[in-house]
Homo-oligomer: A and B are copies of this chain.
Amino acid sequence: MKVESVDAFYLRMPEVRDIGDGSQDALLIRVRAGGFTGWGECEASPLPTIAALVAPISHSACKPVLDSVLGANLDGPADIGAIHRRVKESSLDLLQADHALSGIDIALWDLVGKRQGTPVWSFFGSENHSRVAYASSLFGEDPADTYERARSIRNGLFRAAKFGWGPIGRGSLAEDIAHVGAAREGLGPDQVLLVDTGCIFGHDVPRALALAPVLEDNHVWWWEEPFATGALREYAELAAKTRIPLAGGEGCHSADQARHVIEYGRVSFIQIDTGRIGGISAAREVAEYAKERGVQYVNHTFTSPLALSASLQPYADDPNSLFAEVPYSPSELALLIGQELPINDEGQVTAPPGPGLGMNIETSPLSPYLQEVEIRVDGRVLWESRGFEA
């Protein structure tokens, strides 16, 4: 069969706030081929990503992403690989292409899985391991708010939680101490506490080191994104100077970059957003490399159940990667994209058993969130958003 259509749907909450919550909008991708439909999601700014699909050719290595996808053969995983490589080569100099490719690649895997009646993870091995699900939350506005969030997580099914972004690293060390302490107190002494400092220390190792004792005192299990994604030398330096394992990599938009975070940044946990790195194909490459290097792979997901399912597929066969990120309070929009994955009595989550990504996308509840997008260049309509039915 051949790829017949690729559609992109820009969905958005009525109000998008200036906070670190990435679930306030979404770019959903739908691919159709041979009577089957696959869905994917880009973890990306929707408008430039749509523009990347249809941008007029600039030169032989800067072509619109759709040119490499529409009409391509799609009979199995090998064809997804060929499409993936063609996008990387033909859109080499179109920076946003990696984010666009991510959602398309996910949708292609979903479609091929559905056609073969088998979950995506089954292409990578026969096992589908459960993970310790950690509730992923932003820090509160003040320590009391952080405490309440932690308390509420503790009272639910989760046995692990991560707090991140918001005030951390932006005010005084005393404020950071109060927030991390409140998170630990709210969770109680036994739950796993993870902290995400959202790149706040840039390339500044001494400033990051000042926070290290605070995290150590509160038995934090990993320290996520102390630095900018590319600050590899700084990651490695900090890793040698703190007992807390480092985690990072969510900003990577290629498997190469993730390999660098592992090899040169010396993280203990490599965090991959399937919706950014180039989809399930690129994420799988990283999962294999991480296994080889004895590094734990973890998904990065802060959006929908569809994105969560996609992000669990690449490492489903790995028994040694223990954790999975599960958004704790995503937007009402994100919750409409697929079905929530259950957390079992042991606080674990597992990739769905159904074909493809095991998700059913109901489009009618999404329609109220759909943004009409129209792009014209020199009078030609390059993009016009259609409703889901088109």
Contact = CB atoms under 8 A, between A and B. Distances in A.
A22 B378 contact: no
Interface stretch (A226-234, A306-314, A337-345): A226-234
A16 B47 contact: no
- Dominant secondary structure at the A interface: loop
A162 B251 CA distance: 35
A127 interface: no
A55 B48 contact: yes
A292 to B, nearest CB: 13
Contact of A25 (B24, B58, B233, B372): B58
Contacts of A18: 57, 59-60, 63
Interface string A49-65: 11110111111111100
Interface stretch (A95-103, A183-191, A238-246): A95-103
Interface stretch (A114-122, A206-214, A255-263, A358-366): A255-263
Interface string A86-101: 0000001111101100
B95 A260 contact: no
B264 A56 contact: no
Contact of A94 (B21, B48, B228): B48
B58 A45 contact: yes
A256 B203 CA distance: 10
Given A95-B95, A256-B230, A257-B230, A377 B61 contact: no
Interface string A2-25: 000000001010001011111011
A199 to B, nearest CB: 7
A375 interface: yes
Interface string A354-388: 00000000000000000111111111001000000
B95 A99 contact: yes
Given A16-B57, A22-B59, A379-B372, A45 B260 contact: no
Work out how many copies of this chain go into the complex: 2
A251 to B, nearest CB: 7
A16 B56 contact: yes
A232 B251 contact: no
Nearest to A166: B60
Contacts of A149: none
A375 to B, nearest CB: 5
A55 B45 contact: yes
The 9 closest A-B pairs by CB, nearest first: A230-B256, A96-B96, A48-B51, A51-B51, A47-B55, A45-B94, A374-B376, A48-B48, A48-B96
29 contacts: A16-B59, A18-B59, A18-B60, A19-B60, A22-B58, A25-B58, A44-B95, A45-B62, A45-B93, A45-B96, A46-B56, A46-B58, A47-B54, A47-B55, A47-B375, A47-B382, A48-B48, A48-B51, A48-B55, A48-B96, A95-B95, A95-B253, A229-B256, A230-B256, A230-B260, A231-B256, A372-B378, A373-B375, A373-B377
Interface of A: 10, 12, 16, 18-22, 24-25, 43-52, 54-63, 92-96, 98-99, 165, 198-199, 228-233, 251, 253-254, 256-257, 259-260, 263-264, 276, 371-379, 382
Given A20-B59, A47-B382, 19 more contacts: A19-B59, A19-B60, A25-B58, A44-B95, A45-B94, A47-B54, A48-B52, A60-B165, A93-B276, A95-B95, A95-B276, A230-B254, A230-B260, A232-B256, A264-B264, A372-B377, A372-B378, A372-B379, A374-B375
